[in-house]
Amino acid sequence: MLIRGRSSLSHDFYQSMIGSEAMSLQGWKQLAKWSLEHSCMNPEELEAVTAEWTRKWNEFCQWIVDEYGPVFKEQEASTSRRH
């Protein structure tokens, strides 16, 4: 898709690079997937790289849960005690 002669994918990367508040974890995932889909890899390479990326993405998401889950639970408990 082109917007004013520029790739919308480039615009998405630009928004993420400047730290758009609208960018979510799902948005980061989608950008990475689009990057793979629009790469110049042959189908076999793409399949292998996508499998590796998916494995690493899942590890990253688990790290977020492990690292920040307890903090979130503490904040949630603190908030519920106030109400």
Q: 36, 29, 38: which is closest to 8 by C-alpha?
A: 38
- Please give the residue that has the higher pLDDT: either 16 or 3: 16
- The pLDDT of residue 1: 42
User: Quick check: pTM over 0.85?
Assistant: no
Decide: residue 21, CB within 10 A, 0-12 exposed, 13-18 middle, 19+ buried.
exposed
Q: Work out the average pLDDT over 9-30.
A: 73
DSSP helix/strand/coil, 7: strand
Within the chain, strands assigned E span: 2-3, 6-7
| Rounded Cα–Cα distance for residues 67 and 24 (Å) | 18
